[in-house]
Amino acid sequence: MIDYKNIITLEPGKRGGRPCIRGMRISVSDILSWLAEGMTISDILSEYDELNEQDIYAALSYAADRENKVYQVAV
C-alpha cells in the first residue's frame, strides 16, 4: 500500500474539509467516484493532467485505510 500521508491533504476551508489530493480541489471521493463509474486510471490522468498515477493510488490507499479503521471500530 502506498504511503499517502504526503499526498492526501485535509484543509477545513477546502471542499468542506474532505481529503484532497496535494492541496488541490480534487478530492479522494472524486477519484473513487470516477473509478466506480468505470473510468480507468489512464482516463483520469488524460482528463486531469494535474494528477499523476501515484495520486490515484494514494486515494485508493487512503480509502482502504479508512475502511479498515471503520471495520475495526465496528467489530
Domains observed in the chain:
8-74 (1.10.10.10)
- Report the SS3 class of residue 53: helix
Other CB atoms within 10 Å distance of the CB of residue 71: 9
The CA angle 68-70-71, to the nearest 5 degrees, is: 65
Structure confidence by residue, pLDDT tens digits, 4-51: 999 999 999 999 999 999 999 999 999 999 999 999 999 999 999 999
Terminal Cα-to-Cα distance of the chain (whole angstroms): 23
71 band by pLDDT with thresholds 50, 70 and 90: low
pTM over 0.75: yes
